Amino acid sequence: DLHQTICNSNKYFTMLSFLYSKCRHSKLQTKLYVGLFVITSFWAILVLANAFNAKPSTSDLESRQALRQLAAQLNLTFSVISNTKRNHTARITLRNPLSGVWLGAGIRWRLYFSLMRPVHQVIDGPFRLTHQNGYLHQLEPVGDLATGGLAPGGEYSIRYVGKANMLGRFDAFPNWYAVLVNKSGLEVAAEVLAVTASEALDFVNPLTRPEQYKTGPDDVNEPWTPFKRAEIQAGYLGNERPGPQLVRLVPKPALAEPLGGEQRPPSTDCLLAGLNVASSSSGGDSSGCKPAGSSEAAGLLREAAAEAAAAAAGGPCTAGEMNLPRWTASLQLCDNSSSKFGKLLTNLTPGQASEAYELLLDPKSGQAVLSAATPVGLFWAAQSLVSLLQPGGRLAVRRLFDYPRSQYRGLMLDVARNFLSVEEVVRLIDAMSAWKLNRLHLHLSDDEGLRLPLTAAFPAASRRCHPLSGEASDQPVCAQPPQLGSHPTQWGAPPGCGSYSAQDYAAILRHSASRFVRVVPELDTPAHSLAAILAMKAQGVDLTDPEDPGGQPSPQAFTNNSVNPCLPAGAQYILDLMRGVSKLHAAAGLPMLEYHFGGDEAPNGTWTNSPACRRMLSIPPDQPVDADAVSRVNLRRLLAEAADAGVDALLGWSDGFAGADLRPFNLSSLTAGIRRPRKVVAVPWHLKPSPRDLAVAGYSLVMAPATRLYLDHRQEPDPEERGLYWAANFTDLYTVFSYDAKTDAAAAGPDADILGISGALWTETARQPAQAFSLLAPRVLALAERAWHHADWEGAAPTDGGQAAKARSRDYAEFVSSVGHRELGRLASFGIQFRLAPPGARRLGGDSGGFLLTHELPGVRLFYSLESGATRRWVESDRLVEWPSGVRRVHLMAAFSLPGHKAGYYAQSRIVHIDR
Ligand SMILES: *[C@@H]1O[C@H](CO)[C@@H](O)[C@H](O)[C@H]1NC(C)=O
Ligand SMILES: *[C@@H]1O[C@H](CO)[C@@H](O)[C@H](O)[C@H]1NC(C)=O
Ligand SMILES: *[C@@H]1O[C@H](CO)[C@@H](O)[C@H](O)[C@H]1NC(C)=O
Ligand SMILES: *[C@@H]1O[C@H](CO)[C@@H](O)[C@H](O)[C@H]1NC(C)=O
Ligand SMILES: *[C@@H]1O[C@H](CO)[C@@H](O)[C@H](O)[C@H]1NC(C)=O
Ligand SMILES: *[C@@H]1O[C@H](CO)[C@@H](O)[C@H](O)[C@H]1NC(C)=O
Ligand SMILES: *[C@@H]1O[C@H](CO)[C@@H](O)[C@H](O)[C@H]1NC(C)=O
């Protein structure tokens, strides 16, 4: 209608736009318009001329300027309206905050962005909204909005129903971007919307109402108030109180003998800085032990002493002041049948014996003696000594005898979803080793990226960016668009783009070997392979059957993301990945002993209508393909090839060894007539297949239950906490600490070959190292605890009268005390950021009374601020806070500072509040 025509012809009406600034929304009298029309008839003629004129009237340069203006000015908000058990509704609102300027006028534009859950159905709004693939969506204005742009002050919303739930801020992703479409329909420029560029994701409206943050009325999960938090944490502790403790290492040693009661434990303040390491020249010993002053363990001690000395320089520990207590560490490697050390090993399994160590400490003489049968055992002894000598405590132990409960103490790191640099991986390896984790399972490929130079899929598969037409030739080919909120045009930059060169990977392998951590590479196939499939397709190689209509979308909403092993190119691709990474290991001088082929989440229906699979399995054209038969062929090839490549253990996610019904293939029939690696290891992570079924079918196991050990899950049931929640509503420090590995193992049956446990850090929501590390830590310390130490409360019968629960509380109280007083500082020294829980609070009696601040980790600094206007003044609390009269709200925060660093905090919690 006329009104709209006038509004749309903004180009000619900019001068008059103040009159129309509410064209779409105001209720101006038609009379006024008629009057205006008459007065501006000259302009109107031009408008009509324009309407019939198809010739582009905006130059390319002007179009790009209009796109930049749109991206800089558009105010976009994303709001979850409500969740139900099965889906959610949400609203995307676009506002033009400018007066007098139409945004996006005269150009054709669309937005792209990622959402954790795919849009299912639009309810209403002047946009077309479509799910592209995986996380990526497209939104395009339609009708008047498409031609005329957003009116000054205008506000436009679209509402939609999306699949599953969106319960938190971090289900949204940053870097929504606008793309310019030229007159030929080609996308020629992309600009990030400024309002969505911040990692704070403040364009996402807070989820404050229960219908927003709950899956329905029967969902009991509420964000914790400080009072609730304190109550929950007190429940974990039972009647125990974490005190300043002296002996407890993380992970807890098998045996720790405290210093005799009459001896006052010396302060550890300057011990590490003054530590001497005896050289290897001093003579042997008649009981079958040889000095090991040039072992890796000795190297670690020298390094730690030098670092501590450097950190202490100028302080009270400086050597020049001669008041430095000097300890000497003597290291020895002992024959495992020796009279002295060998006897200690008698009741251990060979695996345990190979990592066992003894550490003797004599405060009177300042002697530390470290003994082990192997260099790795000695290395763990050195790690324990470094930990015991951390400043700020007392050395209250005289002897440790220690060994791990199991050999595989793993952490999976996903560098495919979002990339982490060599430097960050190295930091993580140092930290893992300090807490005696010994397997870094690197998830090196997924739908979103491939991070090693393997096969012709590289380098395109290692990059995500928006493909633009006619750009300068320096735009690299990116296999994937910017999934998961990576940047559309920062070509080459993490988190979307990145890879390890052969040299980088060798550096990671060598560094981890020096820390006795083994890298277990995972190249995930046949599913989770979209980046590689697209990269190969661009080169004319099909890894999927072009005649296969494809199966269901994957759980992450990708379609056609499974390599088809019935195609010669598909079969070869899967084997090439293993051969390629095996060569990288060989070139680094560290043979690949363990390889993980992924195997998870192949969508139902994949391959069932593939003509190539029909040909391979000699199935008549009208018959469906048995996808399980395809999986078996693929597994047999992998197993035989792995054996040939010298792989000792082939690992896979548990469903990778199972059919579509999630029942595992029997391993001996699977491997009949072929060579296979010594161990075939299934990693159960979800309900099915169960550890028991896998064990019965012949697989060894590494337990990685998502409900307990997935460190990508949020740490509280709060919409402001980063992380997923599909396996558990929340996974806090205690959830991981209290994982009963013994009961889990027992459920797998008496004959199950359980190699150990593994945590997992998937990185969909972690775009920055600090975000990834804050999901990891401090929970990774609880993972290390469970991986190494078999606690006495594990596996207790429900009828034990609460004894196990009491023991667990005591153990947890000791653990959090160590974490708060010592381990947080060590995490910081490795450059690992960590999450601090917000404070808890307990009301003191009476209405006028104040409250007590609490925290799950003793030793953390607690602050409060009385609400007064916008400025916040933090007061550090000795935990007891009076409630001042007239104050209705108090804000709370926990923080951690590095010793000696007064300014700033190394870590701080979310800010929370309590109301009177
Ligand atoms: C966007 O609009 C909302 C609602 O009007 C407003 O609260 C917010 O401050 C605006 N954001 C920006 C960056 O202008
Ligand atoms: C979303 O869930 C509600 C409640 O279960 C249901 O009524 C509705 O049909 C669902 N919407 C879609 C589009 O699936
Ligand atoms: C989350 O809590 C609800 C109870 O409110 C429960 O029904 C649901 O199973 C939990 N979700 C997970 C993944 O454990
Ligand atoms: C002792 O060490 C040898 C060689 O390392 C090994 O083969 C043997 O199994 C070990 N014995 C025990 C009891 O650990
Ligand atoms: C659209 O962009 C492409 C690539 O830059 C260019 O070849 C084409 O001429 C453009 N079309 C128009 C109508 O400008
Ligand atoms: C999957 O691939 C097949 C074959 O190329 C194609 O016909 C089908 O449309 C694709 N499915 C989707 C959802 O893209
Ligand atoms: C796949 O199909 C099987 C039946 O063929 C069914 O048991 C299973 O639950 C399905 N899996 C998924 C993820 O839909």
Q: Where are the domains of the chain?
A: 1-52, 58-212, 255-402, 408-463+498-701+757-766, 840-915
State residue 284's pLDDT score: 59
Tokens of 358: 């003894």
Distance 481 CA to ligand 6 centre (A): 18
**Token pair recorded at residue 875:** 């007061």
Question: How far is the C-alpha of 16 from the C-alpha of 42, rounded, in Å?
Answer: 13
Ligand 6 atom nearest the C-alpha of 553 is 13
For residue 184, how far is its CA from the centre of ligand 5 (angstroms)? 6
The predicted pLDDT at position 320 comes to 56
Q: Is the CB of 4 under 6 A from ligand 1?
A: no
Q: How far apart are the C-alpha atoms of 723 and 762, rounded to whole Å? A: 9
Q: How far is CA 792 from CA 356, 736, 738, in A?
A: 19, 16, 12
Judged by its nearest atom, the ligand closest to the C-alpha of residue 77 is 1
Say what the pLDDT of residue 700 is.
98
Give helix then strand counts, H and E, for the chain.
26, 34
Q: Which of 723, 676, 835 is nearest to 770 (CA)?
A: 835
Q: Which two tokens stand for residue 663?
A: 């029942």
**Distance between CA atoms of residues 170 and 60, nearest Å:** 37
Look at residues 369, 339, 372 and name the one whose alpha carbon lies nearest to residue 357.
372
CA distances from 477 to 111, 212, 486, 774 (A): 21, 40, 15, 32
84 in contact with ligand 2, CB cutoff 6 A: yes
Ligand 6 is surrounded, with C-beta below 6 A, by 546, 548-550, 559-560
Distance 200 CA to ligand 1 centre (A): 14
Q: Which residues pair with 155 in a beta bridge?
A: 95
Q: How far is the CA of 553 from the centre of ligand 2 (A)?
A: 19
The CB density around residue 547, as the number of other CB atoms within 10 Å, is: 11
Alpha carbons 797 and 803: distance in angstroms, whole number = 10
Could you give the angle at which helices 769-776 and 422-434 cross, rounded to 10 degrees? 20
Which ligand minimizes its atom distance to the CA of 204?
1
For domain 255-402, the CATH superfamily is Chitobiase/beta-hexosaminidase domain 2-like (3.30.379.10)
Chain-centroid distance, C-alpha 375: 32
Nearest CA, atom 14, ligand 6: 559
- Residue of 469, 471, 475 to test ligand 5 pocket, by largest number of atoms within 8 Å of CB: 469
For residue 382, CA distances in Å to 281, 298, 377, 782, 842 come to 19, 7, 9, 21, 42
The atom number, within ligand 2, closest to the CA of 120 reads: 13
Mean pLDDT by 10 residues, the chain (916 residues): 42 36 41 47 45 54 96 98 96 97 96 98 98 98 94 98 98 98 95 98 98 96 97 96 78 93 84 91 72 95 93 72 79 90 94 98 94 97 96 91 98 98 98 98 98 97 94 78 96 95 98 98 98 97 95 95 98 98 98 98 94 96 95 98 98 97 97 98 96 98 98 98 98 98 95 97 98 98 98 91 94 96 94 97 80 94 89 87 86 89 85 92
Structure tokens at 396: 């209250």
Going by C-alpha positions, the residue among 606, 714, 710, 595 that lies closest to residue 645 is 595
Identify the CATH number of the domain defined by range 58-212: 2.60.40.290
3-state secondary structure of 145: helix
- Distance from Cα 177 to the centre of ligand 1, integer Å: 18
Structural tokens at position 589: 């001088």
Q: Is 75 in the pocket of ligand 1 (CB under 6 A)?
A: yes
Report the nearest-CA residue for atom 6 of ligand 5: 470
Q: How far is the CA of 76 from the centre of ligand 1 (A)?
A: 8
Amino acid 616: pLDDT? 97
Q: Is the peptide bond preceding residue 546 cis, with omega within 30 degrees of 0?
A: no
Return the biggest CA–CA distance within the chain: 113
**Is 408-463+498-701+757-766 in the same CATH topology as 58-212?**
no
CA angle (11 as vertex; 8, 15 as ends), nearest 5: 105
Q: 315: how many CB neighbours lie within 10 A of its CB? A: 13
HSE at residue 188, side-chain half, CA atoms within 13 A, is: 15
CA atoms of 891 and 911, how far apart (whole Å) = 7
Q: How far is CA 123 from CA 143, 157, 161, 844, in A?
A: 17, 11, 7, 50
Distance of alpha carbon 232 from alpha carbon 221, whole angstroms = 13
DSSP 8-state symbol, 909? P
pLDDT of the residue at 333 = 95
Q: Residue 888: exposed, middle, or buried by beta-carbon count in 10 A (0-12, 13-18, 19+)?
A: exposed
User: What is the spatial distance between Cα 380 and Cα 76, in angstroms, rounded to a whole number?
Assistant: 53
Q: Which ligand is nearest to the CA of 161?
A: 2
Ligand 5 lined by 184 (C-beta under 6 Å): yes
- Model confidence pLDDT, tens digit, residues 714-752: 999 999 999 999 999 999 999 999 999 999 999 999 999
8 Å CB contact between 375 and 515: no
Q: Which two tokens stand for residue 95?
A: 């506002």
- Give, using CA atoms, the residue closest to atom 7 of ligand 7: 661
Task: Give the H or E element holding residue 108.
Answer: strand 108-114
Report how far residue 235's alpha carbon sits from residue 309's, in angstroms, rounded to the nearest whole number: 41
Q: What is the pLDDT of residue 878?
A: 81
What is the end-to-end Cα distance of the chain in Å, rounded? 56
Nearest CA to ligand 5 atom 7: 470
- State the distance from the centre of ligand 2 to the C-alpha of 116, rounded, in angstroms: 18
Distance 165 CA to ligand 3 centre (A): 12
**φ, ψ for residue 399 (rounded to 5)?**
-155, 135
User: Is there a contact between 291 and 370 (Cβ–Cβ < 8 Å)?
Assistant: no
- Classify residue 588 by its DSSP letter: T
* Ligand 1 within 6 A of CB of 749: no
What is the DSSP secondary-structure string of 163-229? Answer: ES---SGGGB-S--EEEEE-TTS-EEEEEE-GGG-STT-TTBPP--SHHHHSSSTT----PPPHHHH
CB atoms within 10 A of CB 883: 19
Is the shortest distance between the CB of 661 and ligand 7 below 6 Å? yes
Burial track 215-245 (b if 16+ CB lie within 10 A, e otherwise): beeebebebbbbeebbeebbebbbebebeeb
Could you give phi then psi for residue 787, rounded to 5 degrees?
-70, -35
Mutate to test the pocket of ligand 2, among 80, 87, 159 (most ligand atoms within 8 A of CB): 87
Decide: 153 and 99 in contact? Cβ < 8 Å. Answer: yes
Q: Which ligand is nearest to the CA of 628?
A: 7
CA distance 747 to 837: 33
The pLDDT value given to residue 677: 98
Alpha-carbon gap, residue 151 to 784, rounded angstroms: 57
CATH of domain 408-463+498-701+757-766: 3.20.20.80
- Strands across the sheet containing 187-192: 127-133, 136-141, 108-114, 177-181, 187-192
Residues serving a catalytic function are 601
Q: Is 260 left (phi over 0), alpha (psi -120 to 50) or beta?
A: beta
Of 73, 87, 116, which Cα lies nearest the Cα of 204? 116
Specify the ligand 4 atom closest to the Cα of 350: 14
Neighbours of 82 (CB within 10 A): 18
CA-to-CA separations, 854 to 787, 859, 866, in angstroms, rounded: 29, 10, 17
Using the Cα atoms of residue 382, residue 387, residue 388 and residue 389 in order, give the sign of their dihedral.
Answer: positive
Taking only the tens place, the pLDDT of each residue in 511-535 is 999 999 999 999 999 999 999 999 9
Q: How many CB atoms lie within 10 A of CB 604?
A: 9
Ligand 6 atom nearest to CA at 547: 4
Is 713 close to ligand 1, i.e. is its CB under 6 Å away? no
Report the pocket of ligand 3 as residue ranges, CB < 6 Å: 219-221, 727-729
* Cβ 154 vs Cβ 35: under 8 Å: no
